Structures are given as C-alpha cells and as structure tokens.
C-alpha cells in the first residue's frame, strides 16, 4: 500500500514538472514571437516610409548622381534607406540587433566606442576593401575612403564587394554603393585621389574639416612605396594612429600572417623596402604592420616581368596607372588580400574598443643604437685629428656626426644583418669608417665642427676588429687589401653600392 502511494506521489511530481516545462517553453516561444513581430513591424514601417523610387522627383537620384553612375532600382532604394538612417530615422534597436554579436564580444561600452569611431582607409583595392567592409559591418560609423583607381575585371578576384556592374567606376564609389545596402547608417567621405605627402593634411584632416573629429585610426593599404612611406611618416610625425599592410602579393600561407612592429617585419620585399626608407627618415619603431613570414621558394609565385612587346610600345614607365607606379604583374591569390584586410580591421576594432591585445614586441635595441652612435662619434674625433694637420685636441670635442639612431638601425639590421662584414661574428658590433679620408674629415660651419660622413662610408665590425681597423687603416694608412684580402674588400664595396642607392631617400645637407 505504501509503495503504491509513493509511486502515485512521484508521478504527480513528474507531471507537475513536465507541465511547468511545457508552460515555460510556450511562454518563451510567445515572447520570441512577439519580439519578432515587433521587430518586423519596425522594419516594415521603416521600409514603408521610403518613397517609391519610381516616383518622379525621387531624391535619391539627385543625392548620388555625382557619386554612383547608372543607378538601378536597388541602388535608389538603398540610397534612400541610407539617407533615412543617417538622418536618425533608422530604429536603433535594429542596428543593435545587427551588431549583437559584436556587442556581446566587446561589451556595450566597447561597441559604443566603435560606433562613434572615424577611420580613414588609404587604398581600397583587395586589402583595403575587405578592411572597409569589416569595419562597416562591425559598427564603425564614419569611413573616409581614399583611392584614385577604378574597378577592373582583374580586381574581381580579390575585391570585397565589387561586381561586374562596378567595373569601370572608382573603387571608392563601388565600396559606398555596396556597403550602404548592408550598413545604411555608415557615413562615407569619398576622396578619389592619389595619396602624396603634399596632400596629406587635407586627406587626413578631421571629419567635416577644422574642429571636427580627428581620425581614430588610419589604414595604409597602399602598394606604392613612395606614397606608403609618405603616409606612414606623416602619421608618425603627427601622432595619428596608423596600421600598415605589407605585401599580400605572391603569398599563399595564411598561417604565416603576423601583426607586429615595423621593426620586426621580415621576409617581404614591400616590408623590407618600407622599413629601410622609414629608418633613413628616423622612424625605427612605433608603427604596427600586418606582414607575412612566408619565404619564397622553388615553384612559388614571383613578380612577373613586363612582356617584351610592352617594351616595344615605348617607355615602360608610361604603362603604369600613374607615374612611379609599378608596371610589372604581381601574382595575387585572391584569398590572401582578404586575410590581410580582415587582420587590419581586427586590430583596429580591438584597439578602439579597448579589448586586450598582445602582439610581438619590437626589437628593444635603442640603447644599443645609442651606444654605437657614441662609439662612432669617438672614432670620428680620432680620425679628424689624424687627417687635419695642426688640429688641437679640444677642437674636435663635441664633433657632430650626421648619423641618427635610425641610420644605425638601418645599417646594422638591414644592410649587415647584425653581423661583422669581416668575420660574420654577431656580438659586440660597432660601425666605423671603411676608408681613410683623402682630405680632412671635418667641416666647420658657424663654429660648429661636423664630420663629413655618409652612410656608405661605414661598415659593421666587432669592437676588437674596429680597434685594429682604426689604428692600422684609418690612422696609419695601411692598404685595405693587405689587412683583409680581396674577398672582404669586394663584399664591402657591394654593401656600399647598396647603401648609396638607398641613401638618396635620406635627408641630409650637402657637404659640397
């Protein structure tokens, strides 16, 4: 009897629990259905508030006729929706729902920072277009797009949003045209021109000009060396946060893509040249870059030469889209610019939102560069005494050398790859003149004594090797071949030619 009562009681509890679960599920379903209904009504009201594009005097045609050619019905609809959204008529709950996953990840405060952000993207081809699309989709509300180029058929293998219908229109307009259909609340500022140092103040100005919002970040997605260096130098000098994309061309391994300081980027021609020129301008660190550590090898893609028939058409330089732009064909796997672009956007999203970041640290070698510079100054004082007859010791105290820590970094890291040119030893390294000057090594201007030194005059040795070199070659005049042999002399001469070629990018006064 007691067993029967126990079973009855247990069954009653199970039935009660089951009833409660079903009731909860029904209530939850009802709540979700109501929320969807409310959302659908809000979205429906928003859509219904947009005028019919077929109506005469449609505002969309007037608003963008100067921006997007050949408007179709979908374009007109998207433009009107964007106008309403930017005027504040787009329901903010709908925006937050579209950004819900970001909001959960970054937190409400992080997302709000992102929604108030202003980002400039210079270069909106394969890399820049993916970065722009990711930023817009993630909530950035103000985007300035800078690019002089147009969409081509060959762009379609790597561009984020371009279609066949976009071929022939400016890339900046193509991005606006497609992204406003996804994120109509984003405001675009289109600048269809080439970036150069002389136009940097206007292209990187505050949003809506003087007194407006300063850029929270700049993306460098330029593939021209001169423009790239000018952009990065300007941002560095004016404390504008910037991140730079190195070369995605000829790369195929997405697992080798890294984010690090400009001083750490390796195994990439665009990165190496950019880094070298920035060091010659005094910028050795402080700029994050996206780069690949993938090494080139047999069977892998490489920069293709211009076909012989193109040379027959005239000056090869005339074949580029603009003067000084490359005219060789760069093989690009369509997936890699996207990975670079999303990595750039990812960095900016996390930085602006205040999310923790932990990338590779730069080479903390500034103290070593300062020590090498002090050693160089000391040896130049000794050389000046030995090459300038009748010069008193006090005359050369405080002798200036036209070399900066950036120059030291360039020579040590980029040219001599952290090794002695004589023995290949990588420890206790210094820089010193290679040849004894044929005349006085000192120049005096307005009572200031300076060394007549150029970067290509310097070689990298160990300190012990340099001590011997100073005594026997620079002070006593011993022939280089007698001390080192022809192989070392030829190796140094090759390095000197390399340095002299790059030295034209360095800003120095003339000693003539």
Least confident of 176-190, 276-290, 370-384, 447-461: 447-461
pLDDT at position 321 over 90? no
Q: Among residues 306, 322, 353, which one ends one of the domains?
A: 353
Same-domain check for residues 277 and 323: yes
**C-alpha–C-alpha distance, residues 305 and 307, integer Å:** 6
Q: Which position has the higher pLDDT, 17 or 83?
A: 83
Q: What does DSSP say about strands 458-462 and 429-433: parallel, antiparallel, or unpaired? A: antiparallel
Confidence of residue 65 (pLDDT cuts 50, 70, 90): very low
Split at pLDDT 50, 70, 90, the class of 29 is: low
Tell me the angle at which helices 126-138 and 171-179 cross, rounded to the nearest 10 degrees: 30
Last residue of a domain, one of 353, 383, 403: 353
Identify each DSSP E strand in 391-440 by its residue range: 429-433
**Residue range 158-178: average pLDDT?**
91
Read off the pLDDT of residues 424-478 as tens digits, 9 standing for 90 and up: 998 899 999 999 888 766 666 655 677 778 889 999 999 999 999 999 999 888 9
- Which of 182-205 are b and which e, b meaning 16 or more Cβ less than 10 Å from the residue's Cβ? ebbbbbbbbbeebbeeeebeebbb
Task: Classify residue 177: in a domain, yes or no.
Answer: yes
CATH number of the domain that residue 268 is part of: 3.40.50.720
Cα separation of 193 and 198, whole Å? 12
Q: Is residue 45 part of a domain?
A: no
Same domain, 326 and 243: yes
Residue 62: pLDDT over 50: no
Give the integer Cα–Cα distance in Å for 91 and 243.
33
The pLDDT value given to residue 20: 53
Polymer length of the chain: 512
93 is a domain residue:
no
Greater pLDDT, 224 or 143 = 143
The pLDDT of residue 359:
60
Cα distance between residue 255 and residue 284, in whole Å: 26
pLDDT of amino acid 2 = 47
Q: Which of 115-124, 179-188, 281-290, 381-390 has the lowest mean pLDDT?
A: 381-390
pLDDT at 266: 60
| Same-domain pairing of 332 and 378 | no
Q: What percent of the chain has pLDDT over 90?
A: 38
* Domain termination residue (choose one: 353, 374, 399): 353
- Among 256-260, 465-469, 505-509, the range of highest mean pLDDT: 465-469
Q: Where are the alpha helices (DSSP H) in 257-311?
A: 269-280, 308-311
How many angstroms from the chain centroid is the CA of residue 392? 51
Task: Establish if 65 belongs to a structural domain.
Answer: no
- If residue 171 lies in a helix (H) or strand (E), which one and from where to where? helix 171-179
Per-residue burial over 447-458, b = 16 or more CB atoms within 10 Å of its CB, e = otherwise: eebbbbbbbbbb
On the question of pLDDT at 137 being above 60, the answer is yes
Confidence of residue 207 (pLDDT cuts 50, 70, 90): very high
- What is the reported pLDDT for 305? 54
Evaluate if residue 507 carries a pLDDT over 90.
no
- Give the residue, 219 or 82, on which the prediction is more confident: 219
Say if residue 297 is in the same domain as residue 149: yes
Q: Are residues 370 and 341 located together in one domain of the fold? A: no
Q: Is the pLDDT of residue 40 over 70?
A: no
The tokens for 69 are: 């050619």
% of residues, the chain, pLDDT over 70: 71
What is the phi-psi region of residue 127: left when phi exceeds 0, alpha when psi lies from -120 to 50, beta otherwise?
Answer: alpha
Rounded to the nearest integer, the mean pLDDT of the chain is: 79
pLDDT band for position 24 (cuts 50, 70, 90): low
Average pLDDT over residues 124-149: 95
Tokens of 379: 């040896």
What residues contact residue 336 under an 8 Å CB cut-off, 6+ apart?
158, 248, 251, 252, 254
Residues 459 and 499 in one domain: yes
Residue 100 has pLDDT above 60, yes or no: yes
Residue 244 predicted with pLDDT over 90: yes
Q: How far apart are CA 258 and CA 86, in angstroms?
A: 36
Per-residue pLDDT, 193: 93
Q: Are 290 and 380 found together in one domain? A: no
What does the block give as tokens for 376?
């160089």
| Alpha-carbon 326 to chain mean position | 19
β-strand partners of 219: 121, 243
Of residues 122 and 321, more confidence is placed in 122
- Do 161 and 304 fall within a single domain? yes
The dihedral region occupied by 391, where left means phi > 0, alpha psi between -120 and 50, and beta the remainder, is beta
pLDDT of residue 502: 81
Residue 202 and residue 338 in one domain: yes
DSSP 214: P
> Is residue 243 predicted with pLDDT exceeding 50?
yes
Is residue 194 in a domain? yes
pLDDT given for residue 318 in this prediction = 38
119-145: average pLDDT? 96
Structure tokens at 301: 């893609």
> Distance between CA 2 and CA 462 in Å, rounded?
97
Residues 108 and 247 in one domain: yes
Residue 329, φ and ψ in degrees, nearest 5: -85, 125
Residue 285 lies in a domain: yes
In this prediction, residues 245-259 reach a mean pLDDT of 83
pTM above threshold 0.85: no
Torsion region of 369: left, alpha or beta (phi above 0 gives left; psi -120 to 50 gives alpha) = alpha
Q: Which helix (H) or strand (E) holds 74?
A: helix 73-86
What Rg, from alpha-carbon coordinates, does the chain have? 31
Which residue did the predictor score with more confidence, 250 or 429?
Answer: 429
Q: Residue 89: is its pLDDT beyond 90?
A: no
Sign of CA dihedral 480, 484, 490, 494: negative
Write the DSSP symbol of residue 121: E
Q: Are residues 179 and 228 in the same domain?
A: yes
CA distance 140 to 348: 10
User: What digits encode the pLDDT tens for the residues 405-420?
Assistant: 888 888 988 889 889 9
Segment among 44-58, 390-404, 462-476 with least mean pLDDT:
44-58
Whether residue 208 sits in one domain with residue 332? yes
H-type helices in 99-125, by residue range?
Answer: 100-115
Distance CA 237, CA 224 (A): 20
How many structural domains are present in the chain?
2
d(CA 244, CA 227): 12
Report which of residues 93 and 176 the model is more confident about: 176
Inform me whether the pLDDT recorded for 289 exceeds 60.
yes
Specify if 58 maps to a domain.
no
State the residue range of the domain holding 428.
Answer: 366-505
User: Contact 139/260 with Cβ under 8 angstroms?
Assistant: no
Residue 323: both structure tokens together:
């003067």
Instruction: Tell me: pLDDT of 315 over 70.
Output: no
Token reading at 300: 């892998």
Compare 442 and 309 and report the one with higher pLDDT: 442
């Amino acid at each position: 009897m007691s067993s029967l009562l126990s079973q009855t009681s247990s069954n009653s509890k199970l039935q009660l629990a089951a009833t409660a679960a079903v009731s909860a599920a029904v209530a939850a379903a009802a709540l979700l259905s109501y929320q969807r209904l409310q959302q659908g009504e809000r979205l429906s009201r928003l859509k219904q508030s947009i005028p019919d594009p077929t109506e005469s005097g449609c505002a969309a045609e007037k608003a963008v006729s100067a921006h997007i050619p050949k408007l179709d019905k979908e374009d007109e609809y998207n433009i009107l929706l964007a106008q309403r959204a930017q005027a504040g008529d787009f329901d903010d709950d709908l925006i937050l729902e579209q950004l819900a996953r970001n909001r959960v990840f970054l937190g409400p405060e992080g997302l709000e920072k992102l929604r108030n952000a202003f980002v400039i993207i210079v270069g909106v081809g394969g890399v820049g277009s993916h970065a722009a699309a990711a930023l817009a989709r993630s909530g950035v509300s103000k985007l300035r797009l800078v690019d002089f180029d147009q969409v081509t058929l060959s762009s379609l293998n790597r561009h984020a949003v371009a279609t066949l219908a976009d071929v022939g229109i400016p890339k900046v307009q193509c991005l606006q045209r497609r992204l406003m259909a996804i994120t109509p609340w984003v405001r675009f500022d289109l600048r269809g021109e080439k970036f150069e140092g002389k136009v940097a103040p206007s292209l990187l100005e505050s949003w809506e000009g003087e007194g407006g919002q300063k850029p929270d970040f700049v993306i460098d997605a330029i593939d021209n060396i001169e423009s790239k260096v000018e952009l990065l130098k300007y941002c560095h000098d004016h404390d504008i946060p910037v991140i730079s994309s190195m070369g995605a061309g000829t790369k195929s391994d997405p697992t080798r893509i890294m984010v690090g300081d400009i001083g750490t980027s390796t195994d990439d021609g665009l990165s190496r040249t950019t880094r070298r020129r920035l060091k010659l301008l005094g910028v050795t660190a402080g700029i994050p870059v996206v780069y690949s550590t993938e090494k080139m090898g047999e069977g892998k893609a490489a920069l293709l030469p211009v076909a012989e028939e193109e040379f027959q058409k005239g000056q090869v330089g005339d074949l580029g889209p603009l003067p000084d732009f490359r005219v060789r064909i760069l093989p690009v796997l369509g997936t890699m610019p996207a990975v670079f672009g999303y990595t750039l956007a990812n960095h900016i999203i996390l930085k602006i939102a205040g999310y923790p970041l932990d990338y590779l640290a730069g080479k903390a070698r500034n103290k070593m560069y300062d020590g090498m510079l002090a050693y160089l100054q000391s040896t130049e004082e000794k050389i000046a005494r030995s090459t300038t007859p009748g010069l008193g010791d006090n005359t050369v105290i405080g002798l200036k050398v036209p070399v900066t820590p950036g120059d030291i970094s360039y020579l040590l890291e980029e040219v001599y790859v952290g090794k002695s040119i004589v023995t290949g030893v990588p420890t206790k390294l210094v820089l010193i003149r290679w040849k004894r000057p044929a005349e006085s090594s000192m120049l005096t201007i307005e009572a200031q004594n300076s060394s007549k030194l150029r970067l290509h005059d310097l070689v990298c040795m160990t300190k012990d090797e340099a001590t011997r070199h100073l005594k026997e070659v620079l002070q006593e005049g011993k022939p280089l071949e007698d001390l080192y042999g022809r192989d070392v002399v030829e190796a140094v001469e090759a390095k000197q030619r390399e340095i002299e070629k790059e030295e034209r990018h360095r800003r120095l006064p003339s000693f003539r």
